[in-house]
Each structure stands twice: as C-alpha cells, then as structure tokens.
Amino acid sequence: MFKMSLKILAMLVLLVSLVICVALIGCVGTETATPPSETPSGEIPAYASNETEKPSQELPTYTDNKTETPTQQTPTQIIEDITPQEAFTLIKENQDNPDFVIIDVRTPEEFADGYIENAINTDFRSESFRDELNKLDKNKTYLIYCRSGVRSGNALDIMAELNFREVYNVLGGITAWKAEGLELKTAEPKLKEDVLKWKEEEIPTQMK
C-alpha cells in the first residue's frame, strides 16, 4: 500500500514537472517571436504581386491605300481699277502678247474721235453688250475703258460676274488718259464717215 502511494506521488510530481516545462517553453517562444512591423496609421500596407505587369498594348495603325485626288483649284480672279499710267505700262508690257486685249466700251462715234491703239470697240449701251462679252475668251487679260470710267466700271462688274480671269479698268477713262498726255489713235476720215452712216441707219425712222 505504501509503495503504491509513492508510485502515485512520483507520477504526480512528474506530471507537474511536465506541465511546468511546457509553460516555460511557451513563455520563451512568445518573447523571442518577432513582432509584426507596424503600418503607419492611414496607410494601406503594400502587398507584392507575383504577377508581371503587362505593357499596354498599342493599337495597330492602318494605312489607307486610297490615293487622294487633288482638289482642282479655280484660278485666282483679278478684277482691278488702275490709273492711266499703270494702264500705259501694262500695255507696253503686253505689246507682243496675243492674250492681251484692249476694249473700248464707248459708242462708235466716241471711238472714231480717238482711241487707245489696238483697242476694239464694243458699245456698252448696246442691248447685246453682255452677250458679246460672254463670247470672249475668259482666260485672256483685258484692259477696258470708256470716256470717264463709269461705263467701263459697270462693264468690269459684268465681266467679274461672267468669271473673266483678269480684267483691268482705266480710272477716269479716256479723259484721264488724255490729261496724262498719253497717245491716242484717231480714226481715218472715211472710217468716221462709215461709223456715223452706220449709226444713222440704225436710228429708227420715227426718231429722225
């Protein structure tokens, strides 16, 4: 009986010793463990991602194989008033130019009394004046004049409407031209008679 009690007592002592050892081991492990790093307040800890960042994929550029047709441009229109001296210079510069035309828009009687050399007469007051202008080559260069610049100024507007490419009007007309001392050609006497006769025949009988 006594031996049994000693045996039980020894077992209890062993059990208590074992419990104490386990407790001590637990304390040591807790003290030596590395505390987790503190994250500053308000900041979210960064977690490393094992995924490799893929570069942004660029959209392919497509080339249009169609050839662009160049836009056909209308030649620049030049419609200007110029002085008699500028008109004289323009005439000299275009003496041998077949595409340069001088038009006198006065009446045939006025034309016969004196005109700029190589001018052709187209009467502004004629009912067919606009139609006569419209028959001309619109790509040529024209110099127009009248007695004082009024009729030729109106003719300039008409030629602009008809899409003439380049037209110049003499400011002050033949009056300003003569005031500058510039040369005029005078029709031969027979031509003057023919012009006046033609004009006389054109007047209706009741108006004579």
Residue 21 is among the residues annotated as catalytic for this protein: no
Task: Answer yes or no: are the C-beta atoms of 115 and 132 closer than 8 Å.
Answer: no
Looking at residue 162, its amino acid is L
Q: Return the closest-CA partner of residue 112 out of 197, 205, 176, 177.
A: 197
Long-range contacts of 93-101 (CB under 8 A, 24+ apart): 94/141, 97/141, 99/137, 99/139, 99/140, 99/141, 100/140, 100/141, 100/142, 100/143, 101/136, 101/140, 101/141, 101/142, 101/143
Choose, from 101, 146, 167, 176, the residue flagged as catalytic.
146
Could you give the CA distance from residue 38 to residue 52 in angstroms, rounded to a whole number?
A: 28
Q: Which residues are catalytic?
A: 146
